[in-house]
Amino acid sequence: MSNQDTEKQEFNITVYTENQIGLLTRIAIIFSRRKINIESLNTSPSEIDKIHRFNIVITESEEVVHKLVRQIEKQVEVLKAYYHTNADVIWQELALYKVSTDVIAEKVSVERLLRENGARVVVLRKDYTVFETTGHREETDNLISILQPFGLIEFVRSARVAIIKDSDGFNRKLREFERLEPGEEVIENEYLNQGEKVFTM
């Protein structure tokens, strides 16, 4: 076995699924059962209506990731699962930072901060300012260390979203898929909070 198979690195797992309640658990436990930590998880609609897309980031060896992806693909409501190294995807994370406006205005040149860190101001209020940056982990981390001395009030970073550099093939298949067999609407519980209208015993 080559080193590449056994050496741990970040992998981006992309999963196309039906939009089904409970599927998140079914996919998440494939990792937790094997005591593998999910570092980032994002679920969103895909380019195709009614097909959902999971982006999952884990640090593992390729051998393990390969087996995990097969277990994921085995699930009834999973259409397709892929894995890619960071080099194979274009990815971004979004981060928000809340800082006291007074401190910022007094001690730092906001304009310089924005310019140097590719950040933009989302909200500017008398009491606080919210900055936003988008980028790789190092980039969003960088602004934390810059803002920390000035009293970073709140920080949050989104899950990673990743686009596969070479994903044209599956897009066509997916579209064909949806054209031939359109997906169904999810039936959610319309009875919740209607207790008084329902007979019970």
Partner 1 sequence: MEVAQETLTTPAPTTAVEVSGSVALLEALIVEGVDTIFGYPGGAIMPIYDALFDYNDKLNHILVRHEQGGIHAGQGYARTSGKVGVVFATSGPGATNLVTGLADAQIDSTPVVCITGQVFAHLLGTDAFQETDVINITTPVTKWNYQVTDANEIPEVIAKAFYIAKSGRPGPVLIDITKNAQIQKFNFQGYTKCNHIRSYRPKPIVRTQYVQEAAALINQAKKPFIIWGQGVILGSAEQEFKAFVEKSGIPAAWTVLGAGAIPTEHPLNVGMLGMHGNYGPNVLTNECDVLIAIGMRFDDRVTGRLDKYAKQAKVVHLDIDPAEIDKNVKSTVPVWGDCKETLPMLTKLIEEKKHTEWLNTFNEYTRKEIEAVIHDELNPTTPEMTMGEVIKQLNEITKGEAIIVTDVGQHQMVACRYARFNKTRSNVTSGGLGTMGFALPAAIGAKFGAQDRTVVAIIGDGGFQMTLQELGTIMQTGIDVKIIILNNRFLGMVRQWQELFNERRYSFVDIQSPDFVAVAAAYRIAGKMIDDRKDLPAALNEMLSTKGSFLLEVMVTKENNVFPMVPQGCSVAEIRLK
Q: Which is nearer to partner 1, 22 or 112 (CB)?
A: 22
Is residue 71 close enough to count as binding partner 1 by CB under 8 A?
yes
Residue of the chain from 4, 8, 29, 121 that contacts partner 1 (CB under 8 A): 29
Nearest to 78 by CA among 17, 14, 13: 17
Q: Using the minimum distance from each CB to partner 1, give the nearer residue, 87 or 198.
A: 198
Shortest reach from residue 75's CB to partner 1, in Å: 8
Q: Applying CB under 8 A, does 67 fall inside the site for partner 1?
A: yes
Q: Which of 8, 34, 74, 165 binds partner 1 (CB under 8 A)?
A: 74
Binding of partner 1 by 87 (CB under 8 A): no
Residue type, 171: N
| Most distant CA pair in the chain, distance | 67
| Beta carbons of 98 and 154 less than 8 angstroms apart | yes
3 binds partner 1 (CB under 8 A): no
What's the Rg (C-alpha) of the chain? 22
Tokens representing residue 50 in the block: 């009614």
Site string for partner 1, 122-151 (x = CB under 8 A): ------------------------------
What span, in angstroms and rounded, lies between the C-alpha atoms of 13 and 135?
19
- Structure token digits, residue 66: 């390969």
> Hey, CA dihedral for 99, 101, 102, 107, is it positive or negative?
positive
3-state secondary structure of 122: strand
Contact positions toward partner 1, by CB under 8 A? 17-18, 21-22, 25-26, 29, 33, 66-67, 70-71, 73-74, 76-79, 176-177, 180-181, 183, 187, 189-195, 198-200
